[in-house]
A and B are shown apart, each in its own frame.
Chain A
Amino acid sequence: MSHASGEGRLIQVEDITRVFHVGGEEVRALRGVSFGISRGEWVAIIGQSGSGKSTMMNVLGCLDTPTSGRYMLNGKDVSRMTDDELAVIRNEEIGFIFQTFQLLPRETALANVELPLVYRGIPARQRRERAKAALDKVQLTHRMHHRPNELSGGQRQRVAIARALVAEPSMLLADEPTGNLDSATGEEIVRLFEQLHQAGHTLVLVTHEPKLAARCPRAIRLSDGQLVADGPGRDVALGVGAGAAVGGA
């Protein structure tokens, strides 16, 4: 069993700080953030640019490690892991959905979706089957042999979502997933997230758009590297409702 304070929670961050050194100057991007996310939750992390939400996203995604504090992910302390150990955690635990899709331009949609399974060491035939199944979930099997430049923005993001789903990670981590899409297509993607949420996936969505955060059952607001609000998405995003704001530090 995991540490007492993180018990039963998929994600438990405790007093996380992240300090960057830029040209001799100290930039404190995160200044002691703590929260937990349970399995099956859909949480938005919201904040202005410079609020530390990108740094938070990198830490949650195991792309970066905190300067101090502890990050428990699925019962494992990932805050002091090496580069290669983190790579394994990313592969097994996290499905990334990026604002700019981050598909490999030279590979087909199917090959892009297969990629996480390649690094998990799954045989090619099995990879193909699972990638097809994942593309089926986002209704893109008819486009699977196309390269990203032959797909529309919405289709590309759906390929990225299929790629995030294919390895059955414990959480999906989306960074401004609708940021590069028109509103109609964005809406399509949000609907897809709703479906995934209903299907039981854990979703963490990093965004600066209050409208998007308002659709999430829960939202966390960061400002100046600190957690300033944690509550129902509507309340935190639109800044209404009592009790939404956490007492400032």
Chain B
Amino acid sequence: MRAFLDNLRLALGTFLGNPLRSLLTLLGIVIGVATVITMMGLIEGLRTKVNRDMGRLGAHTFQLTKWPAGGFGRFNWAKFAKRPDIEMDDVRAIEQSCPSVGVVAPADDEGGQKLATVNAETRPSVRVFGTTTTYPMTSGIAVQSGRYFNEVESLDGRHVALLGVDVADTLFPGIDPVGFEVRIKGRPFLVIGVLQRRGSFLGMVSMDNQAIIPLRVFQQLYGKSRSLDVDIQAKDPSLFRKAQDEVSNLMRRRRDVKPDEASDFELHTNESVTASFNQLSQVITIAGVGVCLLSLVVGGIGILNIMLVSVMERTREIGVRKALGARRRRILGQFATEAVLLALLGGTLGVGLGFGLVFLGDWMVGFPMSVPPWAVALALTMSCGVGLLFGIYPAARAAKLDPVEAMRTD
């Protein structure tokens, strides 16, 4: 312990004796660790957001779609494009012949729409949803002012619309838009309600930049030959799995899918969407650790280099220490401690820089990032390991020096 403290003091002395050189040497480790910390912060932030935002579907609700979830995986678009569309007939069949299913809400949507009033218009980035009266039950949306459209308006295909908060703010700054008219794809719609704020998805895509209209009108405007996304709520939480099985079996029957063939549609739950993201984030994490390891090796070579130089410069000192009674292990310990301390210092600076970048990112793009404590621990441990690994050879060289020879050098 006493020896360790002495070594620590000596190592600090070396660092303070040549801070610029030490810092330059550490650059590799600093950058490597900063990269991994930033990356981990980004992923952890994403994960938290995804887990929250992906919980869009209401309680015991799942979704039937043509396309796989989220677009996170690698997939073969052509293969999925050949799948049959999900149509209103499918929706009606589910309503009629799946006993465990409670509420069904088909929906279709089109992004990049421009909404306008006489005085104002939005950027062409609004997502327009066409759906039915059951949608508020399955999707967790809520109306802030005004009301949702009713069965008559839905079946009749009335030109009524609910606006997201962002759209309402752009078109009707400072006033309640209920009762006013907006134009969607050039057609006039009566605003009957404003949706409650939902925030943004992953901090980038606002979920309040949208409008909801009856599905029937939507299909008149944007065409019918499109696949529907169908939100399906089980009658009861205990029937959640059963409802999924019923829907799956029904769809397979309707499409004549052979027992040994894969389904040509997708069922998503909040969990399955989150899981597919988590899988991706795992891949990124592993890649991140790989990048970190690589730059740590680069940093380690820097340490190897500086320690060899340091041993050479201090050959005489080592000779004197050995002459005065330092054993090999003591000299080894002194230089190994120095290497580890250097690496640890680099790691710490890297963690600091990483946190700085994370906070900067948070502040600049409003992206909530958080660095998991295990990433910090891992980065620091790996730094120490690198210091030891690359410091041990120069230290062993120092320990083996012959005191007489060593004291003779200048």
Chain A residues with CB under 8 Å of chain B are: 58, 61, 63-64, 83-84, 87-88, 90-92, 96, 98, 102-104, 106, 115-116, 118-121, 123-124, 163, 167
- Measured between beta carbons, the chain B residues less than 8 angstroms from A124 are 2
- Measured between beta carbons, the chain A residues less than 8 angstroms from B327 are 83-84, 87-88, 119
Chain B, Cβ-Cβ closest to A93: B325
| Given contact pairs A58-B404, A106-B13, A121-B2, A116 touches B324 in the complex (Cβ within 8 A) | yes
A184 to chain B minimum Cβ distance, whole angstroms, is: 27
| Given contact pairs A88-B325, A102-B316, A63 touches B17 in the complex (Cβ within 8 A) | no
| Given contact pairs A106-B17, A118-B6, A63 touches B325 in the complex (Cβ within 8 A) | no
Question: In the assembly, what is the distance between CA of A243 and CA of B322, in Å?
Answer: 40
| Given contact pairs A90-B323, A118-B6, A84 touches B328 in the complex (Cβ within 8 A) | yes
Question: In the assembly, what is the distance between CA of A60 and CA of B405, in Å?
Answer: 16
Enumerate the 9 nearest inter-chain pairs by beta-carbon distance, A residue then B residue, closest first: A91-B325, A119-B325, A84-B327, A87-B327, A102-B320, A116-B324, A63-B404, A119-B326, A90-B325
Tell whether, in the assembled complex, residue B320 and residue A104 are in contact, meaning their CB atoms are under 8 Å apart.
yes
Tell whether, in the assembled complex, residue A96 and residue B324 are in contact, meaning their CB atoms are under 8 Å apart.
yes
A36 to chain B minimum Cβ distance, whole angstroms, is: 24
Interface string of B384-407 (1 = CB under 8 A from A): 000000000000000000011001
| Given contact pairs A102-B316, A106-B17, A63 touches B323 in the complex (Cβ within 8 A) | yes
Q: Is B317 an interface residue (CB 8 A)?
A: yes
Question: In the assembly, what is the distance between CA of A105 and CA of B243, in Å?
Answer: 82
Tell whether, in the assembled complex, residue B330 and residue A119 are in contact, meaning their CB atoms are under 8 Å apart.
yes
| Given contact pairs A106-B13, A119-B330, A121-B2, A90 touches B324 in the complex (Cβ within 8 A) | yes
- Measured between beta carbons, the chain B residues less than 8 angstroms from A123 are 2
Chain B, Cβ-Cβ closest to A115: B324
Question: In the assembly, what is the distance between CA of A183 and CA of B328, in Å?
Answer: 39
Tell whether, in the assembled complex, residue A91 and residue B324 are in contact, meaning their CB atoms are under 8 Å apart.
yes
Tell whether, in the assembled complex, residue A98 and residue B407 are in contact, meaning their CB atoms are under 8 Å apart.
yes
- Measured between beta carbons, the chain A residues less than 8 angstroms from B321 are 115, 119
Chain B, Cβ-Cβ closest to A112: B320
- Measured between beta carbons, the chain A residues less than 8 angstroms from B403 are 63
- Measured between beta carbons, the chain B residues less than 8 angstroms from A118 are 6
The number of residues on chain B lying at the interface, defined by a beta carbon within 8 Å of a beta carbon of chain A, is 22
Chain A, Cβ-Cβ closest to B325: A91
- Measured between beta carbons, the chain B residues less than 8 angstroms from A115 are 320-321, 324
A-B contact count (CB 8 A): 56
A213 to chain B minimum Cβ distance, whole angstroms, is: 23
**B1-23 CB contacts (< 8 Å) to partner A:** 2-3, 6, 13, 17
- Measured between beta carbons, the chain A residues less than 8 angstroms from B320 are 102-104, 115
A122 to chain B minimum Cβ distance, whole angstroms, is: 9
Question: In the assembly, what is the distance between CA of A115 and CA of B323, in Å?
Answer: 11
- Measured between beta carbons, the chain A residues less than 8 angstroms from B6 are 118
B290 to chain A minimum Cβ distance, whole angstroms, is: 40
B144 to chain A minimum Cβ distance, whole angstroms, is: 71
B309 to chain A minimum Cβ distance, whole angstroms, is: 16
Tell whether, in the assembled complex, residue A102 and residue B328 are in contact, meaning their CB atoms are under 8 Å apart.
no
A160 to chain B minimum Cβ distance, whole angstroms, is: 10
A187 to chain B minimum Cβ distance, whole angstroms, is: 26
Q: List 26 A-B contacts (CB under 8 A).
A: A63-B403, A63-B404, A64-B404, A84-B327, A84-B328, A87-B322, A87-B326, A87-B327, A91-B324, A92-B325, A96-B323, A102-B316, A102-B319, A102-B320, A115-B320, A115-B321, A116-B325, A118-B6, A119-B327, A119-B330, A120-B325, A121-B2, A121-B3, A123-B2, A124-B2, A167-B325
A235 to chain B minimum Cβ distance, whole angstroms, is: 31
- Measured between beta carbons, the chain B residues less than 8 angstroms from A83 are 327-328
Chain A, Cβ-Cβ closest to B399: A83
B333 to chain A minimum Cβ distance, whole angstroms, is: 12
A161 to chain B minimum Cβ distance, whole angstroms, is: 14
Known: A119-B326, A119-B327. 4 other contacts (CB 8 A): A98-B407, A115-B324, A119-B330, A120-B325
- Measured between beta carbons, the chain A residues less than 8 angstroms from B407 are 98, 102
B12 to chain A minimum Cβ distance, whole angstroms, is: 12
**B291-347 CB contacts (< 8 Å) to partner A:** 316-317, 319-330
- Measured between beta carbons, the chain A residues less than 8 angstroms from B323 are 61, 63, 90, 96, 102
- Measured between beta carbons, the chain B residues less than 8 angstroms from A92 are 325
Question: In the assembly, what is the distance between CA of A133 and CA of B330, in Å?
Answer: 26
- For B17, B316, B324, the residue with the greatest tally of chain A CB atoms inside 10 Å of its CB is B324
- Measured between beta carbons, the chain B residues less than 8 angstroms from A167 are 325
Chain B, Cβ-Cβ closest to A107: B13
- For B6, B316, B323, the residue with the greatest tally of chain A CB atoms inside 10 Å of its CB is B323
Question: In the assembly, what is the distance between CA of A205 and CA of B17, in Å?
Answer: 36
- Measured between beta carbons, the chain A residues less than 8 angstroms from B17 are 106
Question: In the assembly, what is the distance between CA of A125 and CA of B30, in Å?
Answer: 37
Tell whether, in the assembled complex, residue B317 and residue A104 are in contact, meaning their CB atoms are under 8 Å apart.
yes
- Measured between beta carbons, the chain B residues less than 8 angstroms from A84 are 327-329
Tell whether, in the assembled complex, residue B2 and residue A119 are in contact, meaning their CB atoms are under 8 Å apart.
no
Question: In the assembly, what is the distance between CA of A173 and CA of B228, in Å?
Answer: 97
Question: In the assembly, what is the distance between CA of A88 and CA of B330, in Å?
Answer: 12
B313 to chain A minimum Cβ distance, whole angstroms, is: 11
- Measured between beta carbons, the chain B residues less than 8 angstroms from A119 are 321, 324-327, 330
Question: In the assembly, what is the distance between CA of A118 and CA of B404, in Å?
Answer: 20
